[in-house]
Structure 1
Amino acid sequence: MREAAFVKQNKEKWMAFEKALDSNSKIDPDYLAELYIQLTNDLSFAQTYYKKSKTLLYLNSLASQAHQKIYINKKESGNTILEFWRKDFPLFFADHQRTMFYAFSIFMIAVAIGAISTIYDDSFTRLILGDAYVNKTLQNIREGNPAGIYQSEGALGMSLWITINNIRVGMICFAAGLLTSVGSGYILFNNGVMVGTFFAMFSNEDVALESWSVIMLHGTIELSVIVICGAAGMIMGNSILFPGTYSRRVSFVKGAKKGLKVLISTIPLFIVAGFIEGFVTRYAFMPAILKYSIVLVSAAIIIGYYVIYPIHLKRKNEEIHRTQTA
């Protein structure tokens, strides 16, 4: 069937559906569900025969609006928040592992660039971190306490300030996705260069292991979550660059919601990282076994929740679906 004939045949039905969606009055759910089924059939037909057409974009947009209208008032259980963390988010994030990998790769390449530049050029450290910070850190190293900067303020005040600042950095990583995924990638790159420079500064002073074991007490979660926020921004940015069969506006709205969901998942972790930095990292001379245990547990939480568990949950759901449809 030619596209013009297809549109002419179904135009009145689509217009009726659009009018029903725009109506503020209560709609018979059975009637709406019936229209939705017809719409998805038309959408499937258009995806097969009218790829990259305006008709397909229109039907995609209409189907998206319909889905929101149907499920917006769906009764939720009392365990909605728990279900979000236990199942909904991990299952959702399983489809974004590749974006997470790209964000991680950009960050680690930048860390390497910052570290190498610092090792071979001392002036690079001051260019990136600033004279005041470098001078203070060098003074702490000479006094035998390389991580003394974390003991310069009260625990509670430092914890609150660090948490707020880290959330701000995470939100900037996400918001940069408005400039497409290139924007979030740029912010991740800048942060990665700073981290690489910071770590290499201690290496140049021959206190690398002593310093890194303290910094990573909070840094394991803090740096990981910044990367995750960058991935959230890239998810939103990719929706602008690659709208697929959706209009660019609809694709952006969907991508922004997905990215925001990832951003929200990081807030509790930022709070934990701020707490550790404010209350734990200051005890630089704690037993090595305790320091490494905290680092390993932190790494396990990040890798387990954002990588292993989502993949496991997705595979489990796919197996259940195959069993039910067999």
Structure 2
Amino acid sequence: MREVYFIKQNKEKWLGIEQVIQGKMKKNPDDLSSLYINLTNDLAFAQTYYPKSNTTVYLNHLASQIFQKIYKTKRVEQNRILYFFKTEVPMLVFQYRRYLMYAFLFFILFTMMGVLSAIYDKDILTVTIPNGESYVNETISNIKKGNAVAVYQQGSTWGSTIGIIFNNIGVGAKLYLYGIFGGVGTLFALLSNSMMLGSFQYFFYDYGALKDSARGIWLHGVFEIFAMVVEAMCGLILGASILFPRTLSRFNSFKNGFKDSFKIFLSTIPFTICAGIIEGYITRHALKMPLLLNVIIIFGSLAVIGFYYFIYPSIVNKKLNNHINDAVL
């Protein structure tokens, strides 16, 4: 069968499946299974006769989407939270993985801008952080006393923890929701926070206290900063859904973009809470604990969150594709 005729023969069916995936048409689990079986038959035919065609790529993507739809209709209510973090979020992160890459590239660029700004303007930190002048003076005094992270030892542990958690969630919400301005708002918020980080780290380097600051700041900073970048990713997804609706109406594209990005944003909350707990209870003891313990906490945190957002989504996607291939075969 010629490919053109194959497409013409099945086009309406495939468009109907797209409607189901987008939630415009409701189907019960049995109907979804029938659609999936029918679609995998088309995919098997396309893989046999048009292996390098865009039609095969399209059908494989469609089969992946409808399989996810079926998977969600299974009885996951009893383990809904587990399913959300174990399967749903990783699938979305893999789907939008290029936005995570964009967010990290912008983060690195903006952080380097903060470092360069601090090199050429020693007073930049007084501008980039709240209450900059008094904070800088206090930190310089602490460094001279041999306690670069003394600022984290103020206040009660539980009070500091609660305040830090709510503050960081607020920062993350801005990074995400500012994406509604076509992603520009997210980039501006990321620029502000990244330049603050870059200039702050150079400030400690300039005063010969980079090692001590790293032992303290990055105990909680790994979760906090990594989550911030993921939240920026969510803002970019939101902005792209408005700017590039593709075949959907702009409203439906925004609705889908918001639904997907919000789920990813929610996945950062546990990491933000962990960062707040570490900052409130552990960072204040950073210079008193053995260096090896600092290293274990810092790189252990990096391994956990890096695995979850960079490696695990590929594992989940591979399992999904194996299920599809098994169904086709």
Same fold (TM over 0.5): yes
User: What TM-score range do you get, normalising by the shorter chain?
Assistant: 0.7 to 0.9
CA distance in 2, matches of 1:123, 1:284: 27
Q: Percent identity?
A: 34
1:106-255 correspondence to structure 2 within 5 Å: 106-129=106-129, 130-255=132-257
| Deviation at residue 88 of structure 1 after TM alignment | 1.6
Q: Deviations over 1:198-228 (max 9, x none)?
A: 1111011011112112110000110000111
CA distance in 2, matches of 1:315, 1:30: 23
2:317 equivalent to 1:295:
no
Equivalent of residue 273 in structure 2, options 271, 274, 283: 271
CA distance in 2, matches of 1:290, 1:112: 28
CA distance in 2, matches of 1:169, 1:206: 29
2:307 equivalent to 1:304:
yes
CA distance in 2, matches of 1:154, 1:119: 35
| Deviation at residue 152 of structure 1 after TM alignment | 1.3
CA distance in 2, matches of 1:132, 1:30: 62
Q: Can you give the 5+ residue segments of structure 2 that lack an aligned partner in the other structure? A: 1-11, 40-68
Measured at CA, do residues 30 and 296 of structure 1 come closer, stay the same or move farther in structure 2, by a change above 3 Å?
Answer: closer
Match of 1:103 in 2: 103
SS in 1 for 2:248: coil
Q: Deviations over 1:258-317 (max 9, x none)?
A: 111011101111110000000000002211000000001100011100110001211222
Q: TM-score with structure 1 length normalisation?
A: 0.78
1:53-92 correspondence to structure 2 within 5 Å: 76-92=76-92
Measured at CA, do residues 245 and 154 of structure 1 come closer, stay the same or move farther in structure 2, by a change above 3 Å?
Answer: same
CA distance in 2, matches of 1:75, 1:144: 57
Measured at CA, do residues 75 and 301 of structure 1 come closer, stay the same or move farther in structure 2, by a change above 3 Å?
Answer: closer
CA distance in 1, matches of 2:31, 2:319: 32
Q: Can you give the 5+ residue segments of structure 1 that lack an aligned partner in the other structure? A: 1-9, 41-67
- Runs of 4+ residues deviating >3 angstroms: 27-33, 70-77
CA distance in 2, matches of 1:226, 1:141: 27
Q: TM-score with structure 2 length normalisation?
A: 0.77
Measured at CA, do residues 322 and 226 of structure 1 come closer, stay the same or move farther in structure 2, by a change above 3 Å?
Answer: same
Aligned alpha-carbon RMSD (Å): 3.0
| Deviation at residue 320 of structure 1 after TM alignment | 2.7
CA distance in 1, matches of 2:158, 2:169: 17
Measured at CA, do residues 309 and 207 of structure 1 come closer, stay the same or move farther in structure 2, by a change above 3 Å?
Answer: same
Give the counterpart letter for 1:200 in structure 2.
Y
